[in-house]
Amino acid sequence: MPLLTGLILGAFVAYGAGWYLGMFTGNFALLMLMATVVSGVYWVAERLVFLPRRKAAAAQLQTQAAQRREELSRMGIAQTDVDVTAASEKLIMQPWWLDWTAGLFPVIAVVFILRSFLFEPFKIPSGSMIPTLLVGDLILVNKFHYGLRLPVANIKMTQGEPVRRGDVMVFRYPPNPNVDYIKRVVGLPGDEVAYLNKKLTINGQPVAVADLPEFFDESVMRYFRQERESLSDKPHLIIEDNDRPAFIAGVGDYPFRDHCRYSVEGVVCKVPEGHYFMMGDNRDNSLDSRYWGFVPDANIVGKAFFVWMNFGNFKRIGSFD
């Protein structure tokens, strides 16, 4: 068992190292599921097999010591230095290979349940959601808001709340579902979304915006045009780069590509059933549905709602729209 356990732990370490070094794209949900199952098997085996065996061996040692004391007493030897307490405790103690498996199971199981069904932490890696979310923000995602889903398979088990325009959503990136993206929901199933000359229109109705003072992006040391946009009853902020053209360059091929019409002015898309049109708040610095298409309902991870830490700016902590 120690050799087998060492091989299993080595496989987990190799997977994590390869992922960290960029040799392949890892799947943390799958890794957590495997760790929970493996450590759970060891935990059950410890309770039903390994611990009873160790206790039986310790009890046998105690019995042998008692018999030895009785034998010495019959021989007239009253004082003995036979003390098996330490040896018994050593026999009962978990070996290293159970410490690193069964011993960690409760912690791994709690983390797995929390991140799979309640809240999952994410780190904002890019500036596509500026000014709402900044690079380095550590956020929490509500995993049950849109309905509970099975881990890894992402199969929906409960209905949850409907997706609303204006929600900040984490989802599996359609071209590579092993990668998580975060954007704002702009179009719902059946909506016609138009982004022409940097003006957003939904179902023929222009989305209301209000001009605000320019936003200074410290990451690039530049000012950008800032507006308050009202996709829902909770307005949010967006920024635009006046130096960037409205034309959307580098559009790839994607499912339902025929639902979109591209021109030098921008794009008009009809959102298919069971899909959503997503955009970043940093409108001219966001690879979103304008470039790679629609997000299927099956790709939804959860609703982002809270910045729990930013080590470079503690004032960032709090809820956001």
pLDDT of residue 59 exceeding 90, the answer is no
Separation between Cα atoms, residue 98 and residue 104, nearest integer Å: 9
Tell me the pLDDT tens digit for each residue of 175-192: 998 899 999 999 999 999
Separation between Cα atoms, residue 248 and residue 28, nearest integer Å: 33
198 is catalytic: no
Tell me the pLDDT tens digit for each residue of 217-226: 988 899 999 9
Q: What's the rounded mean pLDDT across residues 44-62? A: 89
**Ranges assigned E (strand) in 59-187:** 119-123, 138-142, 168-172, 180-187
The identity of residue 202, as a single letter, is I
The pLDDT-based confidence of 82 (bands split at 50, 70, 90) is low
199 is catalytic: no
Mean of pLDDT over the chain: 91
Rg (CA), the chain: 29
Q: Which of 183, 286, 289, 303 is catalytic?
A: 183
- What is the pLDDT at residue 28? 83
User: Could you count the other beta carbons within 10 Å of the beta carbon of residue 181?
Assistant: 24
| CA 57 to mean position of chain CA atoms | 44
Q: Which of 128, 143, 289, 303 is catalytic?
A: 128
Tell me the pLDDT tens digit for each residue of 84-118: 778 888 888 889 889 999 999 999 999 999 998 99
- What is the pLDDT at residue 81? 59
- What is the pLDDT at residue 278? 98
- What is the pLDDT at residue 306? 95
For 18-48, b where at least 16 C-beta lie within 10 A, e where not — what string? eeeeeeeeebebeebbbbbebbbebbeebee
DSSP 150-175: -TTT--B-S--SPP-TT-EEEEE-TT
Question: Residue 156: exposed, middle, or buried by beta-carbon count in 10 A (0-12, 13-18, 19+)?
Answer: middle
Q: Looking at the DSSP assignment, which residues form a beta bridge with residue 260?
A: 269
